[in-house]
Amino acid sequence: MPHPLLAASTDSALPIWLVTASTWPEVQAMLPPLAAGFAKAQGFEAKAGSHCLLPGSDGALHGVLFGLDAPDAKRPDPFLVGKLATLLPEGTYRFETPAPDAKLATLAWLFSAYSFNRYRKRPDKKARLVVPNGVDAEDVTRIAESLARSRDLINTPTNDLGPDGIEDAARILAERHGARFTSIVGDDLLAQNFPMIHAVGRASTTPPRLIDFTWGDENAPKITLVGKGVAFDTGGLDIKPPASMLLMKKDMGGAATTLALASMIMGAGLPVRLRVLVPAVENAIAGNAFRPGDILPSRKGITVEIGNTDAEGRLILADALALADEEKPDLIVDFATLTGAARVALGPELPPFYTDDDDLAADIARTGMVVNDPVWRLPLWAPYQAQLDSKIADVNHVGGPMAGSITAALFLRRFVSEAGAHVHFDIYNWNAAARPGRPEGGDIQAARLMYALIRDRYGS
C-alpha cells in the first residue's frame, strides 16, 4: 500500500512550480495574469525555501511557487522541497516542474510530515503529493514507514520503552517478515557466555537481553546488523550530570537504526541472509552495578578493565560483535550512539564511520551523498591503540581525553576478526530543531545509505 500522503492520480492536483532565478521568468510568463501579478506583489524571489500560494480567478488556490536557489551552497539540500509538506493547506499537489532529485524530494515530503503523537495529538498533515514519474511509490513508502517506526522508538521515553520494549519492537518486526526470533534474557546471558551484556544491564529492574533474529536464504550472502540498545544511560556509577541525561532515552538509537534498516531489507526482499543482533540493557545504578576498575570477561575471551561505567555501549556491542563474527559473515555493520567525541569532531549532522575496507569505505561515502544520508570516514589510527593499554587486563575499554570516537572504534575492532568486512557507525540520531526532511526529535542516520549500498552490492 502506498503511503497515505502519496497520490497516484494527477487529476485536479494543484501544481507546484520549483523555480530558480534562471527559470523564474519563464514560469512567471506561463502563469495567469492574476497569479503572476500576485507573486510580484508579494515580492516572491526564487530563494531557497521561499514559497508563494497563488490565487485563481475564483479565489481558490491555483498553485504554489517554491524557490530552489541557494547561491552560497555548492549543493542545494535535496530535502528542501520537504518543507512544503508542513506549509501547504489540505489538498493534493504535483510537481509541475521536475525536482532535481524526484525520489529524495518525495522522501523529504514524507519525512517532513512525520510527527510523534503518542502522548499529545497533533493535527494530521493533509497535503498529499502525486508520485513523480520514475519514483517507486512502494520503495519510498517502505523507507518512510521504516524510519517513522524507528523514530517513534527513539522518541518514546524509557518508562514506556525499556529493554523489554525494544525486544517487543524487534519481535513484531521479525514476525511481520517471517524471521526466526530468539532472545537471551537475564542470567541466561551468563550461561550462554555474554558476560559484558549482563554486567552492564544487571543493575536495572528490567533484565538485560540479547535480541537475535535471522531472515532469508542461508546460502545467500550473510549480512549481520548489530545495534546498541541502551534504553537509558545514567552513566552508571560514573553518573552523568542532569543536563547530559535529558536525551538518554535516545541511547537505543543504534537499535532503532538497525531495526529500520532490517525493515527495509526484508520489505524489499533483498537476496541476503540477514541477521540482527541487539543487546538491550538499561545502564542503571544499584548495589550490583558494575564499577570502575572491574575486570570483565568477554565472549571473545578478551579481559576488559573498566575505565568508566559511562562507556557502557561498547561493552555490550563487543559481546554481540563477537557472536556475529563467529559465523564469518560477509559484512557486519554496527550502529551506536556511542561517543560525544564524534559530535565534537563532526557535529550532530555528520556521523563518522570506521572500516578497514577501503573499497567499502569509498562506496559508503559516495552512497551517503547520493541518497542525502551523509557520513564521514575517520581513521582506525593504529598508534592510538596504546591508549587502551591495561596493566592488569588485556585491554582497558576507554582511552585518553582525546580521539574518543577513534579509540572506541579501535576497541570494537578487537572483537571482529573473521568477518569479510566490518563497518562501525558512531551516530547521533537526534534533531534539536526541525529541518526539511528531518523533523525535530529522534532521527535515523546511515540506515538509508546502507540500504542503498546493500541493494546495489547484493540486490541482483
Q: What is the DSSP string of 335-398?
A: EE---HHHHHHH-SSS-EEEES-HHHHHHHHHHHHHTT---EE----GGGGGGG--SSSSEES-
141-458: CATH superfamily? Zn peptidases (3.40.630.10)
pLDDT tens-place string over residues 67-123:
998 766 667 789 999 999 999 999 999 999 999 999 999 999 999 999 999 999 888
Kindly report the number of other CB atoms within 10 A of residue 192's CB atom.
13
Average pLDDT over every residue of 385-391: 97
Concerning whether 250 is annotated as a catalytic residue, the answer is no
pLDDT tens-place string over residues 110-127:
999 999 999 998 887 789
Q: Which residue has the higher pLDDT, 243 or 73?
A: 243
Give the global pTM: 0.97
CATH number for the domain running over 6-135: 3.40.220.10
CA distances from 107 to 6, 101, 146 (A): 10, 10, 12
Looking at residue 11, its pLDDT comes to 80
From the list 314, 414, 448, 455, the catalytic residue is 314
Query: What sign has the CA pseudo-torsion 293, 296, 302, 308?
Result: negative
Nearest to 197 by CA among 281, 311, 297, 309: 281
Residue 427 has pLDDT above 80, yes or no: yes
Q: Is the CB of residue 48 less than 8 Å from the CB of residue 80?
A: yes
Cα distance from N-terminal residue to C-terminal residue, the chain: 24
Supply the mean pLDDT for the chain. 96
Go through 169-184 and write b for each residue having 16 or more CB atoms within 10 A of its CB, e for each that does not: bbbebbeebebebebb
Concerning whether 47 is annotated as a catalytic residue, the answer is no
Average pLDDT over every residue of 286-295: 98
From the list 240, 377, 413, 457, the catalytic residue is 240
Question: DSSP character for 57?
Answer: T
Residue 460 has pLDDT above 80, yes or no: no
Amino acid identity, residue 270? L
Name the residue ranges covered by the structural domains of the chain: 6-135, 141-458
Looking at residue 74, its pLDDT comes to 64
Alpha-carbon distance 30 to 153, whole Å? 47
Kindly report the number of other CB atoms within 10 A of residue 195's CB atom.
17
Confidence of residue 1 (pLDDT cuts 50, 70, 90): confident
